[in-house]
Amino acid sequence: MLNLYRYPVQARDDLLKVLHTVKARLWMPYQAALEYQENRMSIIAEQMQRFKDVRDILDKTEESLVNGLDRLQLAKRHSLIRADDFVKGVRKRIKNFQNQLNELEGGQTDVSDPDDLRAQIDSLFESKIGSPPASQQELDALYEEAASRYQNRQPPGYLDAHKEEECYVYGGLCFKRKYGDLILWNQVIEHVKKESIKGVILLTNDKKEDWWWIVRSRGDKTIGPRPELIQEIKTKTNISLFYMYNSERFMEYAGRYLGVSVEKKSIEQVRDFRRIYDLAKRTHERGFAKSETWLATLLPPASLRTQLLAVAASKFSSIAELPPNAKIAVSASQESQEWLQRALAYYRVELIPVRIVAVEIPLALERHVIDAALIELHPSPAMTHFIDLGRIRLLPWSDDAIVSVLAAYPSILRRTYLPANAYAGQNDALLGYAPRIVNE
């Protein structure tokens, strides 16, 4: 529901039209309603803030253009180039767009204004929102179950395992944010069971693989809900059909099967929003400047040795670019191997372990005998020499993969500043992940 505040007007109105068509069959889990109410104001404020953000960009663009051209002193130093008319044209366009922004801002809902969209949502879901948990004991029992599920990577929600044990208190109950997906899923199951429902379409814009079955085949392909989710809801209820759609697919099928008129442009707008929003969210979640560096430390559970992946500088820019069957030099520790295999599984990379003497790793990388190497923090002199020359370097993990790895090993890594080390070719501390010392 929160994305309705972000969608373009046409896409929003078309989705609301579809929802009104199936109004009699709608139902919202209590957890979804709670998260909507908790975040609604911040989304409205975010939308209002965008007007200032756009104005700032326009001002900086005009200032940068004028100052840059002034520094060139074209009137004095070039026989042909004259930019005065161009600058006047840009200024006029910027001014016109700023006037449009002022008009649009006047119609934008602010946090203190009546919320017409909320009124429509309230009308759609009147008397169709699930009941809250009966007690804190019920929630605590679910949290205890969640710890086991997350450890076994049982969907949904295990990719939130890295989140803090933060509570959102409402109605005298402590709702832990990291277990929100599982709370919602449990409420769906209980509602289906109580009402003896035979068919369910779960509408969600969560795209993580702890909800969706994603297969890598010439890019990531979403097949459908995770099979474990289908199996669980069918085991615990008498349901016959279970489907899961995002807003884009829901609108597409509504136009096809319900006879609802949905503009193709609306579906494209929802699709484009999802892609842009996902990119912006990943960028925001990094939470640090580009100059800072992400490092993923590979830590065997029984050891406190920090190990890093190093690669030939000319081959890969990230672990995501490793080939499906990567040949990686590993230590003799079987435990290290298992840890690495599980971490690389995020990228659908199957490890082919290769035993190579440490001093020969640089040449093996350069000659492409191996794709990467799992090596200790403090390299041998021979390897340091190659690193100093820039001939081998770190192969960084993506933020998404780090989240996945932390979900699997939440108790042994912590986000911190790592000490300077030769592998990174850095003299300053780097933001990354390091071993969590026992009793820390």
pLDDT, residue 189, reads 96
Domain match, 326 and 280 both? no
73 within a domain of the structure (yes/no)? yes
pLDDT, residue 146, reads 92
Burial class (CB in 10 A: 0-12, 13-18, 19+), 230: middle
296 within a domain of the structure (yes/no)? no
128 within a domain of the structure (yes/no)? yes
Q: Are 309 and 373 in contact (CB under 8 A)?
A: yes
Report the mean per-residue pLDDT for the chain: 77
Q: What is the mean pLDDT of residues 37-62?
A: 86
CB atoms within 10 A of CB 178: 19
> Token digits for 99?
């006037």
Domain match, 32 and 125 both? yes
CB atoms within 10 A of CB 143: 15
Nearest to 185 by CA among 250, 240, 224, 231: 231
In this prediction, what percent of the chain has a pLDDT beyond 90?
A: 24
Cα 283 to Cα 285: distance, rounded to the nearest angstrom: 6
Domain match, 244 and 205 both? yes
293 within a domain of the structure (yes/no)? no
pTM of the full structure: 0.61
Domain range for 85 is 2-286
Give the number of domains in the chain.
2
Domain match, 270 and 311 both? no
Which residue, chain included where needed, has tokens 């690669």? Answer: 311
For residue 375, the cross-strand partners are 308
Question: In angstroms, what CA-CA distances link 197 with 130, 188, 265?
Answer: 14, 11, 34
Cα 440 to Cα 436: distance, rounded to the nearest angstrom: 7
Cα 269 to Cα 6: distance, rounded to the nearest angstrom: 11
Q: What is the mean pLDDT of residues 122-137?
A: 94
pLDDT, residue 34, reads 93
Contacts of 428 (CB under 8 A, 6+ apart): 420
Domain match, 340 and 411 both? yes
297 within a domain of the structure (yes/no)? no
Return the top range by mean pLDDT from 183-187, 375-379, 384-388, 419-423.
183-187
Domain match, 74 and 142 both? yes
Per-residue model confidence as pLDDT tens digits over 193-250: 999 999 999 999 888 888 988 887 766 788 889 999 999 999 999 999 999 999 888 9
294 within a domain of the structure (yes/no)? no
Burial class (CB in 10 A: 0-12, 13-18, 19+), 247: buried
Return the top range by mean pLDDT from 17-21, 43-47, 419-423.
17-21
Domain match, 334 and 425 both? yes
Q: Which of 286, 319, 347 is the last residue of a domain?
A: 286
Q: Which of 233, 252, 286 is the last residue of a domain?
A: 286
Choice among 114-128, 253-267, 391-405 with the minimum mean pLDDT: 391-405
- CATH number at 410 reads 3.40.190.10
Q: Are 157 and 146 in contact (CB under 8 A)?
A: yes
Q: Are 261 and 379 in contact (CB under 8 A)?
A: no
Nearest to 343 by CA among 355, 330, 354, 356: 330
Domain match, 323 and 417 both? yes
Nearest to 104 by CA among 227, 8, 222: 8
Nearest to 315 by CA among 368, 363, 358: 368
Model confidence band, residue 317 (pLDDT cutoffs 50, 70, 90): low
Cα 313 to Cα 295: distance, rounded to the nearest angstrom: 16
Domain match, 312 and 403 both? yes
Domain match, 41 and 9 both? yes
Domain match, 277 and 312 both? no
Domain match, 163 and 201 both? yes
Contacts of 397 (CB under 8 A, 6+ apart): 294, 295, 296, 318, 319, 405
386 within a domain of the structure (yes/no)? yes
Model confidence band, residue 126 (pLDDT cutoffs 50, 70, 90): very high
47 within a domain of the structure (yes/no)? yes
Cα 256 to Cα 282: distance, rounded to the nearest angstrom: 33
Quick check: bond before 156 cis, omega within 30?
A: yes
